[in-house]
Amino acid sequence: MDKLVIEGGVRLKGEVEISGSKNALLPILAATLLTDEPCVVRHCPSLRDTNTMLKILRVLGKAADFDKGVITAAANGVTNHVADYKLVSTMRASFCVLGPLLAKHKEAKVSLPGGCIIGVRPVDLHLKGLRALGSEISVEGGYCIARTRGLRGAHMYLGGEYGSSVLATDNVMMAAALAKGTTIIESAACEPEVADLAECLIKMGAKIKGHGTPTIEIEGVKRLKGFDHTVIPDRIEAGTFMIASLITRGDILIKNVNPRHLMSVIDKLQEAGVQIRMSGSSMRVSIKSHIRPINVTTLPYPGFPTDMQAQVMALMCITPGISVITEKIYPDRFMHVAELNRMGAHIQREGPHAIVEGVKQLSGAPVMASDLRASAGLVLAGLVAKGTTSVSRIYHLERGYENMERKLAGLGAKIRREKE
């Protein structure tokens, strides 16, 4: 395994190009299972998760190729409705093949998912929605086994204990696109990645209204065709580089970003005294004076994203005063707290709250990544810490950030990859 070694204290400046959204791409790749026609997906990030999904598609009967950011997928003559444990267990998003397989083949056997260790993330909303469409689902031996004589539209509520579910909304929306009749999803996820999937499905011939709002209406069609679609920019990568600029007191021009997808983050950072200049698909992020402490609560979109929680915590670690960060999506998503404290941070956890007392200086230390976004938070802390920080288990980072160390090095960071 590799690790990242960071020499802290360098002010970052320059330009960085944001990659395509991982969280939009993976369900769109699953949507290729809804048709036998060729599909083209552009602006695809080269990530571990991308390659995992391509392996799953190939197992399920797709010829899938990836070249210079473009993925092409088409039927290869093989029919398979079983997504096995070895692949699905490594990545939670792969569970969204369940809906397309069920809609296309009327049966599916998909392993229960894996992914980052950020707390319990059940699949009950996925199963609830697909059952409402007329499928019979059982869980046996770690697999979801689903069958249907024909999916039918339904009116359903998909809200959960901690709000709406992005992947459950994706799964049901894809299945409903080929169901007979009309489906209405109440308490649907509003994330831009869900809307991007809907736009892709519409190109395939699906009839969808209301995507990007809590109520989505899908009128089923008999068949779907191939598509050519460009994935939206990754708002979480963009947000991470915003924090990279601020934590190093730098000046970074972030290109290929949609500021509308980051308004909750922009609002909180402006509250902290940050200067953000937006122009089209670019943002320049810098600091006029000292940053002020802020209180942050993660919420479903358009609220502050849980995927930015670790990064903003790293920034608050060196911000004078006391900040309170409340996690309402995954209350156990605080594995990075202990590692940040090893670097000299003063963070106390109380249930779903992290109380952060800013310190003058973090100190470089060996730290271990526990999940994708925690990895990013530790790298950000390393950029500003005094001395050397080594971040182990960066395979988590490689699941969601394309060439992160290369992009940071291009901004002046002293960062290198080494073998553990």
Both 157 and 120 in one domain: the answer is yes
Cβ contact 82:76 at 8 Å: no
Same domain (yes/no): 266, 396: yes
For 156-178, what is each residue's pLDDT tens digit?
Answer: 999 988 889 999 999 999 999 99
Same domain, 131 and 208: yes
Tally the residues of the chain: 420
Domain assignment present for residue 226? The answer is no
Domain boundary among 169, 186, 220: 220
Q: What is the pLDDT of residue 120?
A: 43
In this structure, what CATH number is given to the domain that contains residue 303? 3.65.10.10
CA distance 296 to 281: 26
Same domain, 345 and 292: yes
Q: Are residues 32 and 165 in the same domain?
A: yes
The answer on 181 and 241 residing in a single domain is no
The per-residue pLDDT for 325 is 98
Q: Give a yes or no: residue 44 inside a domain.
A: yes
Has 116 been annotated as catalytic? yes
Nearest to 171 by CA among 201, 203, 204, 202: 201
pLDDT of residue 114: 57
- Asked if 264 and 117 sit in the same domain, the reply is no
| Cα separation, 132 vs 234, whole angstroms | 32
Whole-structure pTM value? 0.96
Of the three residues 220, 250, 269, the one that is the final residue of a domain is 220
Q: Which residues of the chain have pLDDT under 70?
A: 114-121
Tell me: do 386 and 246 sit in the same domain. Answer: yes
Among 197, 220, 243, identify where a domain stops: 220
**Does residue 225 form part of some domain?**
no
Q: Identify the domain containing residue 347 by its residue range.
A: 2-18+233-419
pLDDT in the model for residue 77: 78
Strand partners, 389: 6
Domain membership flag for residue 127: yes
The SS3 assignment for 420 reads coil
- The DSSP 8-state label assigned to residue 198 in this structure reads H
Residue type, 351: G
Contact 164, 150 (CB under 8 A): no
**Domain identity same for 160 and 285:** no
Q: Measured at the alpha carbon of residue 333, what is the angle toward residues 329 and 336, in degrees to the nearest 5?
A: 150
Asked if residue 311 belongs to a domain, the reply is yes
Whether residue 334 is found in the same domain as residue 206: no
Q: 13-17 and 182-186: which strand pairing?
A: unpaired
Together in a domain, 206 and 244: no
Is 268 within 8 Å of 258 (Cβ atoms)?
no
Query: Are 387 and 266 members of one domain?
Result: yes
Q: How far apart are CA 76 and CA 288, in angstroms?
A: 56
Catalytic residue among 116, 144, 190, 317: 116
Q: Is residue 183 part of a domain?
A: yes
Q: What per-residue confidence (pLDDT) applies to 116?
A: 46
Measured CA distances, 273 to 194, 286, 292, 337 (Å):
31, 10, 6, 24
Query: Could you write out the DSSP letters of every residue in 75-109?
Result: E-S----EE-HHHHTT-GGGGGGHHHHHHHHSEEE
Residue 65 lies in a domain: yes
**What pLDDT, in 10s, does the model give residues 84-141?**
888 888 788 889 999 999 999 999 999 988 544 444 457 899 999 999 999 999 989 8
Q: What does the radius of gyration of the chain's CA atoms come to, in whole angstroms?
A: 21
User: What is the count of structural domains for the chain?
Assistant: 2
Query: What is the per-residue DSSP string for 217-279?
Result: EEE--S-----EEEPPB-HHHHHHHHHHHHHTT-EEEEES--GGGGHHHHHHHHHTTEEEEEE
Report the pLDDT value the prediction gives residue 23, as an integer from 0 to 100.
96
Do the domain assignments include residue 227?
no
What per-residue confidence (pLDDT) applies to 118? 40
